[in-house]
C-alpha cells in the first residue's frame, strides 16, 4: 500500500506528526512524501486514517494498492532494515535489563520493591517487542534474536525473584537477637 501525501510546509509540526504516525505504523519512505506498508487490514486502516488527518490539516493524499513490477527486493529489504533497527534497539535495552539485575544482585538488593520495578521493566520490553512484531509482517531476521533476548530477560528475572524470595525467607526464619539486658 502506498500513501502519497502533501502537507502544508508550515507549521513544521504537521510534517513531524505525519512522519511519527507512519513510523509507528511501520511504514518506510520510498521517496519524499511517498510511504509504503505491506498490505493488511490494519495497514489500510492506519493509512486511511492518516490520509484523512492530512486532508483535515489542509493537505492532500492518495492511498494506492500497488503491485511492484521491479524492485520488490529493495522494498522488502527496506522494511526488514527498519524492523531490524527497532529490534537492535530492543536488544540494547535487554542488555541494560541484564546489567541492572546484575548490579542489584552484586549489591544484594533482594527486595520486593526492586523485583516489582524489574517486573515493570520486563512488561515494557515485552509490550515494545509486541509492537515491533506486529509491524514485522515480512519476518525481519533479527526478530528471532529479539524474542530470544526477551525470553532470556524473563528467565533472569525469575532467577532474581527466587533470590528475593530466599532473602525474605532468611529474614523471617532467622532467630531474633539476644534478649535485652543479656
Query: Across the chain, what does the average pLDDT equal?
Result: 93
All 3 cell numbers of residue 55?
Answer: 486532508
Domain residue limits, the chain: 2-64, 72-173
List, in sequence order, every residue forming a beta bridge with 34; answer none if it has no partner: 4, 31
pLDDT digits (tens, 9 = 90+) for 20-50: 999 999 999 999 999 999 999 999 999 999 9
pTM of the model as a whole: 0.85
63-119 pLDDT tens trace: 999 999 999 999 999 999 999 999 999 999 999 999 999 999 999 999 999 999 999
CATH code: domain 2-64 is: 3.30.70
How far apart are alpha carbons 151 and 147 in whole angstroms? 6
Instruction: Return the residue matching grid coordinates 524474542.
Output: 147
Q: Which residue has the cell 526464619?
A: 173
Amino acid at each position: 500500500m502506498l500513501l502519497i501525501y502533501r502537507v502544508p510546509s508550515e507549521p513544521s509540526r504537521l510534517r513531524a506528526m505525519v512522519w511519527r504516525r507512519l513510523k509507528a505504523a511501520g511504514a518506510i519512505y520510498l521517496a519524499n512524501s511517498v510511504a509504503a506498508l505491506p498490505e493488511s487490514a490494519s495497514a489500510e486502516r492506519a493509512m486511511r486514517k492518516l490520509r484523512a488527518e492530512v486532508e483535515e490539516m489542509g493537505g492532500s493524499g492518495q492511498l494506492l494498492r500497488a503491485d511492484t513490477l521491479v524492485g520488490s527486493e529493495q522494498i522488502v529489504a527496506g522494511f526488514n532494515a527498519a524492523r531490524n533497527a527497532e529490534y537492535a534497539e530492543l536488544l540494547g535495552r535487554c542488555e541494560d535489563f541484564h546489567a541492572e539485575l546484575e548490579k542489584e544482585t552484586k549489591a544484594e538488593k533482594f527486595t520486593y520493591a526492586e523485583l516489582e520495578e524489574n517486573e515493570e521493566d520486563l512488561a515494557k520490553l515485552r509490550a515494545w517487542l509486541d509492537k515491533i512484531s506486529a509491524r514485522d509482517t515480512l519476518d525481519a531476521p533479527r526478530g528471532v534474536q529479539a524474542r530470544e533476548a526477551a525470553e532470556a530477560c524473563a528467565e533472569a528475572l525469575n532467577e532474581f525473584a527466587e533470590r528475593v524470595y530466599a532473602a525474605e525467607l532468611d529474614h523471617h526464619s532467622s532467630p531474633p537477637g539476644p534478649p535485652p539486658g543479656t
